[in-house]
Amino acid sequence: MTCLAVIAIILACATTVHVTTAAPGEDDNSLNPEEIFGLLDTDGDGFISREEFGGALGNHGSETDAEIDAEFEEMDANNDDKISPEEFDPDIH
């Protein structure tokens, strides 16, 4: 299961929106990657920490800690233990 699929399931459980790569401003009740990033960045510091990432995916229960860590590390291209908006790719699997 891709990271995007897990995020979509989490968001579907919490809201009535679905995840897409639609352009910002499109009127289709969808979330684009920037909006998904904002939801995962729970403390609003402009980065997704390992804790924020793991909390979102871990709460769903479909992935192991090792799988979550591997997906986080794949996105964290510069290895600074946080995911920047430029690094964030919900299609990584």
What are the sequence ranges of the domains in the chain?
Answer: 3-19+29-83
Higher pLDDT, 88 or 14: 88
Q: Is residue 77 helix, strand or coil? A: coil
Query: In which residue are the tokens 């729970």 written?
Result: 42
The pair of three-digit structure tokens given for residue 60, joined into one six-digit string: 């769903």
Over the stretch 31-86, which tens digit does the pLDDT of each residue have? 888 998 998 999 999 999 999 998 887 766 667 888 889 989 999 999 999 999 99
**pLDDT, mean of residues 15-33:** 57
| CATH class for the region spanning 3-19+29-83 | mainly alpha
**Helix H or strand E encompassing 49:** strand 48-49
pTM of the model: 0.68
Over its C-alpha atoms, the chain yields an Rg (Å, rounded) of 12
